[in-house]
Amino acid sequence: MSYYSENAKDYIDSTFDIELSSSLYETFEKHLKDNALILDVGFGSGRDMVYFQKQGYQVEGIDLEDAFSKHQRSSVIDITQE
């Protein structure tokens, strides 16, 4: 975990705006009901949480890396802090 502690900002900056193939999300979404609750374990930059929130899903996330959790708490993404 020390890598992420030491490089959290760079990791977030370099991964948040990466556009994943829509087919990757679609493969996952076809198994979800409308307004499903998604738990994103190890959310990192929060990119996937934002995507699914924009699609109308309820999303909560947990991450063991405190730097990621702090970043998400200061952003518009809702997370659950353990």
- The CATH number given to whatever domain includes residue 59 is 3.40.50.150
Distances in whole angstroms, Cα of residue 81 to Cα of each of 15, 20, 21, 28, 33: 22, 26, 29, 25, 25
Q: For residue range 29-59, what is the model confidence (pLDDT) as tens digits?
A: 999 999 999 999 999 999 999 899 999 999 9
The count of domains in the chain is 1
Q: Does residue 65 form part of some domain?
A: yes
Q: Does residue 12 form part of some domain?
A: yes
Q: Does residue 82 form part of some domain?
A: no
Q: 15 lies in which domain range?
A: 2-73
Q: Does residue 80 form part of some domain?
A: no
pLDDT, average across residues 5-32: 90
The answer to whether the pTM exceeds 0.85 is no
pLDDT surpasses 80 at 81: no
